[in-house]
Chain A
Amino acid sequence: AQTVTQSQPEMSVQEAETVTLSCTYDTSESDYYLFWYKQPPSRQMILVIRQEAYKQQNATENRFSVNFQKAAKSFSLKISDSQLGDAAMYFCALSGGYQKVTFGIGTKLQVIP
């Protein structure tokens, strides 16, 4: 079985500052993908960033980047220059064998103007 743990139920950040959301996982698969999804109040799930486990280089998407530590099974999301529109629930997710995706319980991010 695979597990995803997000230990920060809520986080807050000042607008224009940087915040890091934590995620740890466990899987017996050697090939897998890790994701961060954003869910704003509209409820729509939006993919923020994706990391392939076989790639050592950390993924980046504009202001979003990850710190992928494979040996430690850690996958944190860094949001730089935080904006009001970044306020949302953020879910870490793991896709292992048989295309099953496991989600963490989420971190609610508040952005303070």
Chain B
Amino acid sequence: NAGVTQTPKFQVLKTGQSMTLQCAQDMNHNSMYWYRQDPGMGLRLIYYSASEGTTDKGEVPNGYNVSRLNKREFSLRLESAAPSQTSVYFCASSEREIEQFFGPGTRLTVL
């Protein structure tokens, strides 16, 4: 089992460009999450999906959109990247509140 996978691992964008971060899990979890991690801020929730077909905003949703394509996949889209979106992005999945399983992260730099 691969657990939670994320692509790409690294990305550099110019201001105004768009991109989609992909996430997939093979643990049959209902819930999936997108976080961003910034120095001194911990992990902050961008969006989450409690089940296939549903998505909800987290703490910092502005500038992002998500799609829960199916039970396995949960993508995060930046429509018009800004330097303030330079961060490390983590996808996670869970079944109930017991534990979240994290992907390896994507380091995104917006110039």
Asked if A pairs with B, the answer is yes
The answer for the CA separation of A102 and B33 in the assembled complex, in Å, is 12
Interface string of B81-111 (1 = CB under 8 A from A): 0000000101010101111101011000000
A50 contacts chain B at the CB level, 8 A cutoff: yes
Is the CB–CB distance between B99 and A100 below 8 Å?
Answer: no
A53 to chain B, nearest CB (A): 10
Given A43-B88, A43-B105, A45-B90, the answer on whether A101 and B100 have CB atoms closer than 8 Å is yes
Chain A stretch 1-59: residues in CB contact (< 8 A) with chain B: 4, 9, 32-33, 35, 42-45, 47, 50
The answer for the CA separation of A96 and B40 in the assembled complex, in Å, is 23
A99 contacts chain B at the CB level, 8 A cutoff: yes
The answer for the CA separation of A96 and B96 in the assembled complex, in Å, is 10
Q: Interface residue count for A (Cβ, 8 Å)?
A: 23
User: Beyond the given A43-B105, A47-B100, A105-B41, could you list 15 further A-B residue pairs with CB under 8 A, ordered by the A residue number?
Assistant: A33-B97, A33-B98, A35-B99, A42-B104, A44-B102, A44-B104, A50-B98, A95-B97, A96-B97, A98-B50, A99-B48, A99-B96, A100-B45, A101-B45, A105-B40
Interface set of B (CB-CB < 8 Å, partner A): 31, 33, 35, 40-45, 48, 50, 58, 88, 90, 92, 94, 96-100, 102, 104-105
